[in-house]
């Protein structure tokens, strides 16, 4: 990995002040930014360019179908960063650089900038985590963890679709960074929940997500993804001990339940709950390349096809599904279970019809719209349960830091 180039010669305080003024200007006018003197340092121009990109465009693309949080990401988050959270400011700039690069994939300057700012953010973020989460940094750490997750996910859009077997660097690698990053957000939330539960910044973001409505009894073979559990008992019988077998069973049941739920409301971004809610055991199964886990993973990425108009999800379904498919031998009995994700990943059309998708999403999403104001339960309720479980355990898992978050 190349050494991280210097981001700025200014002190952190001066950098934040300059970015704050830039944000204030951008908020007051929609006109083109004035030309800045060519005598200005290159890194200063870059920071202003990225800050403008973040406030004018990137901030509105971070959450799927949730305009209610646009103002938070566009205005509130920068103000919080300017109050002294350098790692949050750097994370904003890193994601903005990656967003700009999505329009210019071969721009090496933007690639270096995204890498550099995220490296700087991760360094300060980890240091802050090591010092401890408290009331003063809980919101900034949550938002930074979220931006790290975006960065880890979006970085894969620059991976080549077709790997060259003769080039080891181009061989498909499993998207573990997705899961490590989203698991990190989950752990930060659980660790800092005593302070986040009353946050006017975090709660609207969390509650803008579709409410998990899982039916573990709905994992029967007749459910849409129930076939993914075929012959599960045979796999469990090969586990080394009953405890591991039970953990594996619960992991698969939960994963299939999330897929069944998200599949019914494809345009609500529900599938994005998958990497954050699956257990660590699921990551272990992916790393072990268990065929069942890989097929479940392929189905998850296929579910993202309906929302890949978002830049950081662009092409994810085709790239990841076809990459996962390449892990199976031609005679594998799992090909029958891969038929749906492959069909969806390769579908060429702006909107996937219900008969191709396999669910009457028009009706289901209509029910969700009508019932949204009648539900007393929110995503916050699920976090309350998770935080309570972790508190009883008297210890929290380490917060995962995706190793390739700075790659782009």
pLDDT of residue 42 exceeding 80, the answer is: no
111's tokens:
């690639």
pLDDT of residue 376 exceeding 50, the answer is: no
Name which residue leads in pLDDT, 157 or 41. Answer: 157
Name which residue leads in pLDDT, 387 or 275. Answer: 275
pLDDT of residue 27: 45
| pLDDT digits 0-9 by tens, 172-206 | 899 998 899 998 898 899 899 999 999 999 999 98
Residue 351 pLDDT level (bands cut at 50, 70, 90): confident
pLDDT of residue 404 exceeding 90, the answer is: no
| First-last CA distance in the chain | 12
Rg from Cα positions in the chain: 22
pLDDT of residue 239 exceeding 50, the answer is: yes
pLDDT of residue 269: 83
For every residue of 211-252, DSSP letters joined together read PP---GGG-STTSTTGGGGTTHHHHHHTSSSHHHHHHHHHHH
For every residue of 332-350, DSSP letters joined together read -GGGGGGHHHHHHHT--SS
Determine the number of helices (DSSP H) and then strands (DSSP E) in the chain. Answer: 19, 0
pLDDT of residue 388 exceeding 80, the answer is: no
Calculate mean pLDDT across residues 288-294: 97
pLDDT of residue 236: 96
Mean residue pLDDT across the chain:
82
pLDDT of residue 112: 94
| pLDDT digits 0-9 by tens, 85-135 | 999 999 999 999 999 999 999 999 999 999 999 999 999 999 999 999 999
The answer to whether 181 and 405 have CB atoms below 8 angstroms apart is yes
pLDDT of residue 34: 38
pLDDT of residue 164: 54
- Phi–psi pair at 161, nearest 5 degrees: -65, -40
Residue 139 pLDDT level (bands cut at 50, 70, 90): very high
């Amino acid at each position: 990995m190349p050494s991280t180039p210097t981001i700025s010669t200014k002190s952190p305080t001066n950098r934040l002040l300059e970015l704050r003024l830039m944000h204030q200007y951008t908020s007051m006018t929609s006109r083109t930014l004035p030309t800045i003197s060519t005598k200005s340092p290159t890194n200063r121009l870059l920071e202003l360019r990225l800050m403008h990109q973040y406030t004018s465009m990137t901030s509105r693309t971070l959450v799927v179908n949730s305009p209610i949080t646009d103002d938070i990401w566009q205005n509130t988050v920068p103000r919080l960063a300017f109050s002294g959270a350098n790692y949050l400011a750097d994370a904003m700039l890193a994601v903005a650089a990656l967003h700009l690069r999505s329009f210019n994939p071969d721009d090496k300057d933007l690639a270096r900038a995204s890498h550099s700012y995220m490296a700087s953010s991760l360094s300060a973020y980890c240091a802050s985590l090591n010092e401890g989460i408290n009331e003063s940094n809980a919101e900034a750490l949550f938002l930074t963890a979220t931006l790290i997750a975006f960065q880890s996910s979006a970085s894969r859009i620059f991976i080549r679709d077709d790997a060259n077997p003769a080039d080891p660097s181009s061989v498909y690698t499993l998207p573990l960074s997705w899961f490590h990053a989203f698991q990190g957000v989950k752990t930060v939330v659980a660790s800092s929940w005593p302070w986040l539960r009353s946050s006017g910044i975090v709660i609207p973001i969390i509650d803008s997500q579709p409410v998990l409505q899982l039916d573990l009894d709905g994992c029967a073979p007749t459910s849409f993804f129930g076939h993914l559990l075929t012959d599960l008992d045979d796999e469990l019988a090969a586990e080394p001990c009953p405890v591991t077998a039970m953990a594996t069973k619960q992991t698969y049941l939960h994963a299939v339940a999330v897929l069944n739920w998200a599949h019914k409301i494809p345009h609500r971004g529900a599938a994005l709950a998958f990497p954050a809610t699956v257990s660590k055991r699921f990551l272990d199964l992916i790393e072990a390349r268990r065929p069942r886990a890989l097929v479940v993973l392929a189905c998850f990425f296929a579910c993202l096809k309906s929302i890949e108009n978002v830049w950081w999800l662009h092409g994810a379904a085709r790239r990841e599904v076809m990459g996962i498919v390449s892990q199976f031998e031609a005679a594998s009995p799992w090909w029958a279970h891969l038929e749906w994700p492959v069909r969806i990943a390769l579908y060429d059309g702006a909107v996937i019809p219900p008969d191709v998708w396999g669910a009457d999403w028009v009706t289901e999403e209509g029910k969700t719209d009508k019932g949204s104001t009648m539900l007393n339960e929110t995503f916050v309720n699920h976090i309350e349960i998770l935080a309570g479980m972790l508190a009883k355990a008297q210890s929290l898992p380490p917060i995962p830091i995706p190793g390739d978050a700075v790659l782009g």
